A and B are shown apart, each in its own frame.
Chain A
Amino acid sequence: MPATEETYRRQPTLHVIFAISSIVMMIVIVWMIMADHLRPWKTFQREFHKIEEAKLRATEKQKLEEQKKLHQSKIDDLNKRIEVANQSQYTNAGELKKVEAELKKVGGDYERLDTAKKFQKAELDSQRSLYDGMIDRDEKREARLYRQSIIVESERKLNELSLEFEATDKQYQELKTKRETLLGNVDELVKERDGLTREVDRVQRTIDQKERQYFGLRAWLRGLPGIDLVPPDKIQQISLPDLTINYNFKDVPRYDRCTTCHQGIDRLGYETDANGEKMKAVFAAHSHLSSGATTIDPRGNKVTAGLFLDGNGPHPINSFGCTICHGGQGSGTDFTFASHSPNTIKQKEEWEHEYHWHEMHHWDEPMLPSRFLESSCLKCHHNVTDVPQAKKLQAGFERITKYGCTGCHTIGGEGSFGPDLTDERAVGPNLGHIASKVSREWTLKWIKNPHGFRPDSRMPRFYGVTNNDSPADQPKNHAEIHAITHYLFATSTPPKEFGEAPAKSDPEKGKELFLQKGCMACHSHRPYDKNEVQLADRGDLNPNYKPDPSTTFDPSGFPESARQYAKADFGPNLSNMSAKFQSRTDGYKWLANWIKTPEAYHPKSLMPNLQLSAQDAADIAAWIISIPGEWPVQVDVPPVDSPEVKQGLDELVKHYVSKGGFKRGEKLEAVPLSEVDEFVESKLSRDEKLMFLGEKTISRLGCFGCHTINGFENAKPIGTPLNDWGIKNAAKLDFGHITEYLTDQTSSDDHARDGTPEFYQEKLEEHTRTGFLYQKLHRPRSYDYAKTNEDIKAWDDRLRMPQFAWANDDKAVEEVMTFVLGLTSEKIASKYLPKAHYKPDQFAVAEGQKLLNRYNCTGCHVLEMPKYEIAAGKALEDVFTEFDTNVRVSYNGRANDYLKEFNPSLTFDPKVQPELKPHDGQAVTIEGMPIGLFENELTVQLWKPVTIRGFTFSVGDNLTVDQTKVNKIAGVGGDFAWLYSAYQAEKTGSDFASFWNRLPPPLLREGKKVQTPWLTSFLNDPYAIRPAVNLRMPKFHYGKLDGLAAKETAMIANYFAAVDGTEFPYQTIPEREQSYLSALEAKHPDYLGSGWDLMAKGACIQCHALGQHKPTGGAEVVNGPDLRQVSSRFRPGFLAEWLANPKRLVPFTAMPQNVPPHGPPPPFVPKSFEDQPSAMVFAIRDTLLNYVNAVEQQLASQAKPAAAKPAAAGATKPGASEE
């Protein structure tokens, strides 16, 4: 077919279509470029550059102003001089020309000579190598000749050249200087000016650099859409090859691109923008960029550092990145894909609106809502107690150990990576001897609802929770309760070591002893208020519960300042104890035995042996049992022979028998299905059924997780191990019908349903881990909703997690969540782990902290005195109302006790009054005991030295502050001591500090004070140090297993040493070494004898026993500790300070300063000690440390004739000379 002009389609139409499609394509391409250009992170960066520019300009302005203020006149002056100097090149033109010509000539010489010298040097080197070659070839003669002729000549030449060069150089430099002078020395002036404008120049240089890079015209051009030539906006990422992410098949390096948008996160000063307003959240600096940690600067000083991101702090940004702590997808550069997680419903709504945020289900580690941020600390800080900053995490850890979560859920242990809680002990009492303790009736009710007896009990409730509270479940509940009780009582054995309690007892005295012996450090004894009763039980209040607070130790009976300490909850509240026992006599006997020797009943009880006499224990028991006990909440369990219990019992026994046969003793009997009904109904006695069901129920509910139960010694914990719960895939969690459950609950005003806040409702709907965990702790059984029908879930398949007393307390629940969410089992490279950085003392502190919590040491002992903080910038005059007086008293106080050797930093001159400097505006913190309050004026007795306005107050000085103007930080520990001293002070009307002498000592400076081995053995077997004190250090039952006991005592001892930064676990005591003693012997003849005399003839024996000397002070004076123990107990440094001035270490001590700092020495002191009070102190100290030696010397000298022992001072002791 011939070609024609006719085309298949109309060309003009095609042209139009082509034109349109081309235009559309153009538009689409522009769209594509713009879509790229306007990616959110790019927009953020552009915005940030603007902010940065504004901020830099503001800094520039500020620096300029500063410069103006400080140096403007100097700069002006310099500028003028520079101008003048610049003129001088014209005025001196003629001379300058001459000098320059000369300089040119000399410069030529200079360069020529320099070259010639270098060449000659090279020549010489080469000749020397030739010489060496000759020697090697053994051509000694030639070598000698060569040296003499050639080398010497070369050296001479070089020397000549050098001299010549030096001369020229000198000339050259002179000429240069001359020229400079003629030019007016401009360079120097400019340098000087630069020094003054340095700050401003630096900012300007930064601005220039940033302008080139980010916000200048060229940067703008480069960054135009579609050009992107070396674009100013770039994705920024931190590569963390060692901080890998587990991508299931491989651990891959982590890339955190968070800084792409969070541009200001590691920049100091980016808390505020250029106008001083709060910076936009995305650009703001990290809140711990410059605070929260300490570091050592190059000069060895401790300075503050940023806890996070700071290069000097413990978590520098370039080695840690962001997501290892915050979670989220580090490689995401989009708000939603980065897996941000809102912390509140409000924030969520804002994000949805602003960023189209939605829950990301595809990333297993979503960012942690800020309320759970502390979880991540746990990934590396497995010791938990080593991050005291993470308050919520600490609280979670304490709650978990306190409530015995580890009884059912394994946390840590062999092969797992993360915190190890396997040495936490079971928290419930021993039930192996239960029949000797409580009544059956009480046990039934207690199992049914422990919170009905003690609303704050640690025992959680297993019954009456959402999956077994329907009326249809009651027969089964009651049958189980009876069965458990039956099993426990049937297997119970009598405690072997219980004895008869004393026949006579005095409850009145018992009440006094209860307070005096420190019971209230752990227990409270107060009636429950209606508001304390659990929400679920408020409808069943017991009308018979009418306790009389005055018969108890209700907080209201204590002075107001100490009431908070009368609510100790380490042990149970003992106010209604008498309701527990079978009879009063049984109860009395049990209590008396228990109080005296708790280990006889429960070998590893947290209740220590208080070392009470049998009579004291009996008195306390008599008092406790004399207070009528009643249940605050009505709890009823039908009797065992009621039809209801029978029905439930039969049903459950049938269920278990048809599932796995009947267990008779150790033997398993198979029962054919068809015969189960008959077998259960007619062939089993009630007791057999109860026993069978009891065993089944105990293993179902895992009671043995917390209690020792006979027959369950080897049972395995029933809960899910929590080792990696923190990253458990949400798809593996069974949410059941939780949404329906929540929907069916009534909503309260704040949209909470059944106490579940809206925030967690959403989290549950989205099927997230956090939602699941919250509900699991809040309403553990609610996941069984609509599944409790027997056809859907058998009785023993129902959820078993019990509900704790704090289930309705969101704060408590979140504490536990914070801990559990941190259990990710992520393997962190060892270089990131604290153990790679910690020194032994940091470990010791962390480990000791755990034990201190475990044994509630702080119930009695003060670890830190209260602190009073005066914020920076506050005027001190307002706060310290009596400052001048305080200074005067403090200064004058030194007149009596000032010993230079012990206070090198203090000065004292009675003629000169101290000079006070102006306050520099820094914050001031004082630490000490509040000893007096008059209106708002609080007198604080310092326990740590503090320097204010250049004057150093030492321990024991008083400072008066206006308590409304200081920030009080509560002390740590000593609850009972504060309680008792306040109580006694009010009762007797005397000074509150004066009772501290009889109370558990504050353990400040304890590490400096005692030797670690001594403390270890003391903890193991505490003895009475101060005979007068009626409160004894109790003997704790250390170690979950006996073999661990020694480890624990050593850890506690090490803790104190580590806290005070002293040596542990061993100390060298040079004072006991022969070389030390002989050196002193040379100076002071009969050194130890003198020391002995200083004590025996001085004031010591008034209070202390010393050899044959008994305390002479009589009953009025508090008897001091036996001095024999001192040598193994004290560390030398502390002991010397203590002897020199005890009140400057422990202000309330009764021990006086026995060596006067001035005045004539006592007559029995040898001459060599005259005017050396500190030498006397050391002599006493050394004698005490060498006690055995000293005593032996005394014995030896007494064996000599008395005449040979002159009393005159200064005479040489025969005993000493004989040695």
Chain B
Amino acid sequence: MHKDLTPGVMTGLAWYYLFAAVLNAAAAAYVSYMEIVSEGASRVGLAPRTRRLPQWLVTTFFGLYGVAILLILFRDFLSDATRIAYFLCAAANLILGIVAASDAAHFAELRDEGHGRGNEVGGPSLDDHQPAVGLGQAMNRTLWTLVWGCVSGVFQVLGLVYMLQGEVSLPEFIRNGVNYVSGPTTFFVGSTVAFAAMIRYRRALANGIVAWWLTNLSLLAFGLSMTDFDFRDIVTKPDNVPIVGLMVLVGFFTWLGLRRAVINDARMALGQPNLEELEPEKTLTWPDLVYTELIAMVALTIFLVVWGIALQAPLEQPASSTTAPNPSKAPWYFLGLQEMLVYYDPWMAGVVLPSLIVVGLMAMPFIDTNKAGNGYYTIDQRKFAYITFQYGFLVLWVVLILLGTFLRGPNWNFFGPYEYWDLHKLIPLNNVNLSDIFWVQILGQSKPPNFFLREVPGMIVVAAYFLVVPLVLLQIKFFQKILEQGGAIRFIVLVLLLLFMASLPLKMVLRWTINLKYLIGIPEYFFNI
């Protein structure tokens, strides 16, 4: 059978951990040696450069990497060149991490009181080097550097172990455990819970230390997961690589926005100007905009070319009407829609809901009359808008894409991340319509032959959803305010959109709890809800 760890995989992982180590080591060096700009400080008020990066360290580090690159370029003529190059790089990383950390320890500065602002009480924060209002107290750079350096060392050692063909892999019980708890329910509910937690504990999350832990833990988790054949097989499919990138990008920018919003909210609560107000109002087109854009263009070109060379377009078999690829998946950006198809009829999941998403996005400026948050990040001032949008985007869109890409396998069955995609796995689909539940299970009689009569219960439920729920919502102050301020039409549109958005998670819940197929099922007219 397929092996979890092959020499090729181990070499790949060694380089992966080298990358993780160099990131951490570089961060350590950055914290230790680089000048620090306080977030929110004007560009004039720079923090003083305290220590300088020793020249010998720069030379050694880049020298070792340079030799390594040369070795790799000429690997055809030298035996074992790649391994030697690896050891050189590892040595460079370790040297950088250790020197940065020990230098930091050597100078062992006291906490810079000047940066810690605000009246929060709490333990020390690792956010010292980018001190900001609202994120707790600062912690000293020395400790920061030591931690980064140590983590870099750990990653590097792990990398060396793999390079020396040590077979470290994710313990079987963890894989089995993860597979066991995985399921569409846990995944979706988990995401929703995580989302709620993100909003609730946003101040902690915005803190660098938390983000840092999350980053390094995900690096480690990803590296360890790659030792599983099935995980690796799915993740490294050239089709799926962009989605891995998407996870990183969405995660980073969500965090960044969240962080700035948290800082702004804290600053504004203190009556201070928000971060955006600290920035100059106008900058020059040249060089500030155009030059940066040019550099970005060049960088993106590099990235695309390298990607094009390294990951060739995956070709599969010629299309056939008799044998569809299994699983047959939509393009990645439609996988969220495809996931909706599990719960809704195509006309709903493929036509109504997507149209409403587009319509809703277009309607947003007309519905949302809240002028707060214009030109700066904030959550407190527009909580409803933020949560609604982020839930729709992150949970109902991105998370469903991830689910569709990585966890939906043959026959659109759900597979745990470490589970073998078995073509023959069969999951029972014992779903019933509401009419069955009502007539057969509750009333214990056969369903009426007339479809209208038969579907009456479903129609009542649907009608109630759209008629009664708004009335219930009106009991909430927030919605009362909207009705008062915006008028009835605005309120109705908003509530309708909201109800449609909520219909997806609600339907999911119904499916999982009472195996509900359709609320209204009229196959006679291809009308199912």
Residues of A within 8 A of B (CB): 1, 3, 7-9, 11, 14, 17-18, 21-22, 24-25, 28-29, 31-32, 35, 247-249, 337, 361-364, 729, 731-732, 739, 765
Contact assessment for B291 and A364 in the assembled complex, using a CB-CB cutoff below 8 Å: no
B431 at the interface (CB under 8 A from A): no
Given contacts A29-B305, A31-B309, A248 and B320 within 8 Å (CB-CB): yes
Residues of B within 8 Å of A17, CB to CB, are 295
Give the docked Cα–Cα distance between A128 and B315 (Å): 75
Residues of A within 8 Å of B1, CB to CB, are 739, 765
8 contacts between A and B (CB under 8 A): A1-B282, A7-B288, A21-B298, A248-B318, A337-B315, A361-B317, A364-B317, A731-B326
The CB with the most chain B CB atoms within 10 A, among A11, A28, A32, A361, is that of: A28
B280 at the interface (CB under 8 A from A): yes
Contact assessment for A8 and B317 in the assembled complex, using a CB-CB cutoff below 8 Å: no
Residues of A within 8 Å of B299, CB to CB, are 21
Contact assessment for A9 and B288 in the assembled complex, using a CB-CB cutoff below 8 Å: yes
Residues of A within 8 Å of B292, CB to CB, are 9, 14
Residues of A within 8 Å of B308, CB to CB, are 32
The CB with the most chain A CB atoms within 10 A, among B305, B308, B321, B423, is that of: B305
Contact assessment for A248 and B322 in the assembled complex, using a CB-CB cutoff below 8 Å: yes
Instruction: Render B307-328 as a binary contact track against A, CB cut-off 8 A, 1 for contact.
Output: 0110000011111111100100
Residues of B within 8 Å of A361, CB to CB, are 317
Give the docked Cα–Cα distance between A363 and B298 (Å): 38
Give the docked Cα–Cα distance between A732 and B424 (Å): 11
B306 at the interface (CB under 8 A from A): yes
Interface residues of B in 301-356 (CB under 8 A from A): 301-302, 305-306, 308-309, 315-323, 326
Contact assessment for B319 and A7 in the assembled complex, using a CB-CB cutoff below 8 Å: no
How far apart are B316's CB and chain A's nearest CB, in angstroms?
5
How far apart are B198's CB and chain A's nearest CB, in angstroms?
31
Give the docked Cα–Cα distance between A924 and B125 (Å): 98
Residues of B within 8 Å of A739, CB to CB, are 1
B283 at the interface (CB under 8 A from A): yes
Instruction: Render B54-67 as a binary contact track against A, CB cut-off 8 A, 1 for contact.
Output: 00000000000000
Number of A-B contacts (CB under 8 A): 71
B284 at the interface (CB under 8 A from A): yes
Contact assessment for B302 and A21 in the assembled complex, using a CB-CB cutoff below 8 Å: yes
B428 at the interface (CB under 8 A from A): no
List the B residue with the shortest CB-CB distance to A765: B1
Residues of A within 8 Å of B282, CB to CB, are 1
How far apart are A29's CB and chain B's nearest CB, in angstroms?
7
Residues of B within 8 A of A (CB): 1, 280-284, 287-288, 291-292, 294-295, 298-299, 301-302, 305-306, 308-309, 315-323, 326, 423
Residues of B within 8 Å of A765, CB to CB, are 1
Give the docked Cα–Cα distance between A7 and B281 (Å): 12
Residues of B within 8 Å of A363, CB to CB, are 317
Give the docked Cα–Cα distance between A11 and B287 (Å): 8
State which of A7, A25, A247, A337 has its C-beta within 8 Å of the C-beta of B318.
A247
How far apart are B90's CB and chain A's nearest CB, in angstroms?
23
Give the docked Cα–Cα distance between A729 and B317 (Å): 11
Residues of A within 8 Å of B317, CB to CB, are 361-364
State which of A1, A9, A21, A28 has its C-beta within 8 Å of the C-beta of B305.
A28
List the B residue with the shortest CB-CB distance to A356: B8
Residues of A within 8 Å of B309, CB to CB, are 31-32, 35
Contact assessment for A362 and B281 in the assembled complex, using a CB-CB cutoff below 8 Å: no
Residues of A within 8 Å of B294, CB to CB, are 18
List the B residue with the shortest CB-CB distance to A245: B318
State which of A1, A22, A247, A731 has its C-beta within 8 Å of the C-beta of B423.
A731
How far apart are A762's CB and chain B's nearest CB, in angstroms?
11
Given contacts A32-B309, A364-B317, A729-B323, A3 and B284 within 8 Å (CB-CB): yes
Contact assessment for B295 and A7 in the assembled complex, using a CB-CB cutoff below 8 Å: no
List the B residue with the shortest CB-CB distance to A247: B318
Residues of A within 8 Å of B318, CB to CB, are 247-248, 364
Given contacts A8-B280, A8-B284, A765-B1, A18 and B302 within 8 Å (CB-CB): no
How far apart are B53's CB and chain A's nearest CB, in angstroms?
15
State which of B284, B302, B315 has its C-beta within 8 Å of the C-beta of A25.
B302
How far apart are A212's CB and chain B's nearest CB, in angstroms?
31
Contact assessment for A21 and B306 in the assembled complex, using a CB-CB cutoff below 8 Å: no
Across the A-B interface, the 4 shortest Cβ-Cβ residue pairs: A248-B320, A8-B288, A362-B317, A8-B283
Give the docked Cα–Cα distance between A858 and B321 (Å): 50
Give the docked Cα–Cα distance between A3 and B281 (Å): 12
Give the docked Cα–Cα distance between A680 and B251 (Å): 69
Residues of A within 8 Å of B423, CB to CB, are 731
Give the docked Cα–Cα distance between A607 and B82 (Å): 73
Give the docked Cα–Cα distance between A28 and B323 (Å): 40
How far apart are A357's CB and chain B's nearest CB, in angstroms?
14
Supply 17 further A-B pairs (C-beta < 8 A) apart from A248-B319, A249-B321: A8-B280, A8-B283, A9-B292, A11-B287, A14-B291, A14-B292, A18-B291, A18-B295, A25-B301, A28-B306, A31-B305, A248-B320, A248-B322, A249-B320, A362-B316, A364-B317, A731-B326
List the B residue with the shortest CB-CB distance to A14: B291
Contact assessment for A248 and B284 in the assembled complex, using a CB-CB cutoff below 8 Å: no
Residues of A within 8 Å of B281, CB to CB, are 1
Give the docked Cα–Cα distance between A729 and B318 (Å): 12
Give the docked Cα–Cα distance between A31 and B302 (Å): 11
Give the docked Cα–Cα distance between A22 and B298 (Å): 7
How far apart are B277's CB and chain A's nearest CB, in angstroms?
14
Residues of A within 8 Å of B284, CB to CB, are 3, 7-8
List the A residue with the shortest CB-CB distance to B286: A7
How far apart are A390's CB and chain B's nearest CB, in angstroms?
29
Residues of B within 8 Å of A248, CB to CB, are 318-322
List the B residue with the shortest CB-CB distance to A252: B318
How far apart are B470's CB and chain A's nearest CB, in angstroms?
48
Residues of A within 8 Å of B287, CB to CB, are 7, 9, 11, 14
Residues of A within 8 Å of B291, CB to CB, are 14, 18
How far apart are B307's CB and chain A's nearest CB, in angstroms?
10
The CB with the most chain B CB atoms within 10 A, among A8, A29, A363, A732, is that of: A8
How far apart are B280's CB and chain A's nearest CB, in angstroms?
7
Residues of A within 8 Å of B305, CB to CB, are 28-29, 31-32
List the B residue with the shortest CB-CB distance to A337: B315
Residues of A within 8 Å of B316, CB to CB, are 362
Give the docked Cα–Cα distance between A895 and B223 (Å): 97
How far apart are B85's CB and chain A's nearest CB, in angstroms?
17
List the A residue with the shortest CB-CB distance to B298: A21
Residues of A within 8 Å of B321, CB to CB, are 248-249
State which of A8, A21, A249 has its C-beta within 8 Å of the C-beta of B319.
A249
Residues of B within 8 Å of A18, CB to CB, are 291, 294-295, 298
List the B residue with the shortest CB-CB distance to A736: B424
List the A residue with the shortest CB-CB distance to B282: A1
Residues of B within 8 Å of A3, CB to CB, are 284
Give the docked Cα–Cα distance between A248 and B324 (Å): 11
Give the docked Cα–Cα distance between A29 and B309 (Å): 11
Give the docked Cα–Cα distance between A247 and B318 (Å): 6
How far apart are B426's CB and chain A's nearest CB, in angstroms?
13
Give the docked Cα–Cα distance between A361 and B317 (Å): 8
How far apart are B417's CB and chain A's nearest CB, in angstroms?
23
How far apart are B229's CB and chain A's nearest CB, in angstroms?
13
How far apart are B173's CB and chain A's nearest CB, in angstroms?
22
How far apart are B47's CB and chain A's nearest CB, in angstroms?
16
Contact assessment for A731 and B323 in the assembled complex, using a CB-CB cutoff below 8 Å: yes
State which of B283, B301, B326 has its C-beta within 8 Å of the C-beta of A7.
B283
Give the docked Cα–Cα distance between A861 and B349 (Å): 77
Give the docked Cα–Cα distance between A314 and B263 (Å): 82
List the B residue with the shortest CB-CB distance to A329: B315
List the A residue with the shortest CB-CB distance to B309: A35
List the B residue with the shortest CB-CB distance to A250: B318
Give the docked Cα–Cα distance between A151 and B482 (Å): 115
Contact assessment for B323 and A24 in the assembled complex, using a CB-CB cutoff below 8 Å: no
How far apart are A367's CB and chain B's nearest CB, in angstroms?
15
How far apart are A787's CB and chain B's nearest CB, in angstroms?
12
Give the docked Cα–Cα distance between A513 and B317 (Å): 65
List the B residue with the shortest CB-CB distance to A740: B1
How far apart are A404's CB and chain B's nearest CB, in angstroms?
31
